[in-house]
Amino acid sequence: MRRMLILLLSLVLVLSGCANQAPSEFSRFAPEESQRLIIYTSHKQEVYEPIVREFERRTGIWVEIMTGGTTELLEKIASGDTQCDLLFGGGIDSLSVYGNLFTIYKSPELKNVVPSMQGNGVWTPFSALPIVLIYNPKLVRFNPPEGWSSLLDPAWKGKIAFADPAVSASSYTALATMVQALGGEFSTRIMGFHQNLDGRILSSSGEVIDAVAQGEYFIGVTLEVTAIKGIDEGYDIAMVYPVEGTSIVPDGAAIVKNCRHEENAKHFLDFILSEDVQGWLSDMFSRIPVRAGLYTPSASGLKSLEYDIAWAGSHHAELLQLWAELSGEAAR
């Protein structure tokens, strides 16, 4: 069924034309201004493209896409970029930090979302994303990692695949989750973890699965959806839900203040919360929908941690500053 859905939506893509182009690259073909929408996204093409093209098909709105890392795109908007109408992707803790960039919109579809994930209108939730640990079963035959405390175990020093939280929003969420799960002074926890990485920090969260599967690292930290996809594709990895519990934080989307196509951006947010799009998340993308009735984070061993989004947001600058200082010292 999942393969059939992917094939059907792929046909829509072929009939719809090009994707993943920088704004204005094909603007000469675009309809009038009122029928346009410019989206910046950190999602992979396999996720955003079927959704965007189906939105185009149903609404007649012409969508232009620019891709990049969450932090990269947020900084681009913060620097005064005036093209973007809507940011699609990124953990809501990271979106909250840049909340002054976005206009408040509460979609009528929010009433159908799990109450704990509805937000305050600055961001709109899309899917729920548990953070998990992975390991290479060929290299780790005994005593695999069990939880967040394993990341501080000297036995794994220099063997942990982890992306730079200054670049990857999911890595920032993982770091904040570890601190909250283990308790104690957050700076002590971060320093201990950073030291255990032994200077080996990946530049992108997309590298974690490959690095562990290929044996460059023994264990890693990633999103559940990424781990499941890797396992389905035959990568040499196994997945572990941390025994202490883990965050199940939604990624989201947000409308940029004073954008040119605000009404079309609102239509897109309504669309991603609709019952059929939310149904695609589990069927096609191994993601957990945020819509009530479809929200089922019930995998064996998955223990939900009460993640403090406000804490993660208020400590964002301080935590990343400490990380930068530690990385600078490690480089010397």
Is residue 282 one of the residues assigned to a domain? yes
Q: What is the mean pLDDT of residues 234-247?
A: 96
Does 148 share its domain with 110?
no
**Per-residue pLDDT for 6 more than 60?**
no
Please name the amino acid found at residue 144.
P
Q: Is 87:95 a contact under the CB 8 Å cutoff?
A: yes
What is the C-alpha separation between 142 and 101, in angstroms, rounded?
48
- For the cut 90, the answer to whether the pLDDT of residue 182 exceeds it is yes
Same domain for 237 and 149: yes
Question: Both tokens of residue 140?
Answer: 């780790």
Confidence of residue 5 (pLDDT cuts 50, 70, 90): very low
DSSP code of residue 23: T
Note whether 88 and 175 are same-domain residues.
no
State residue 225's pLDDT score. Answer: 93
Q: Is there a domain that residue 294 lies in? A: no
Which tens digits make up the pLDDT trace of 36-67? 999 999 999 999 999 999 999 999 999 999 99
Closest CA to 285 of 43, 42, 12, 65: 43
Q: Are residues 116 and 26 in the same domain?
A: yes
- The CATH number given to whatever domain includes residue 233 is 3.40.190.10
- Domains in the chain: how many in total? 2
Give residue 11's domain range: 2-128+250-289
pLDDT tens-digit map of 168-180? 889 999 999 999 9
The answer on 133 and 120 residing in a single domain is no
Clarify whether residues 103 and 220 are in a common domain: no
| Domain shared by 165 and 306, yes or no | yes
| 135, containing H or E segment | strand 124-135
The two three-digit tokens of residue 159, written as one number: 């063997």
Q: pTM (2 decimals)?
A: 0.84
Which residue did the predictor score with more confidence, 3 or 84?
84
* Angle ∠(114,128,225) on CA atoms, nearest 5: 155
Distance between CA atoms of residues 222 and 79, nearest Å: 29
Band (pLDDT 50/70/90 cuts) for residue 298 is: low
Identify whether residues 112 and 254 lie together within a single domain. Answer: yes
Q: Check whether residue 169 and residue 306 sit in a common domain.
A: yes
> Is 296 part of any domain?
no
Residues 255 and 269 in one domain: yes
Residues 144 and 222 in one domain: yes
175 DSSP 8-state letter: H
How much is the CA Rg of the chain, to the nearest whole Å? 20
Please check whether residues 83 and 199 belong to one and the same domain: no
Residue 148 lies in a domain: yes
Is 170 a member of any domain?
Answer: yes
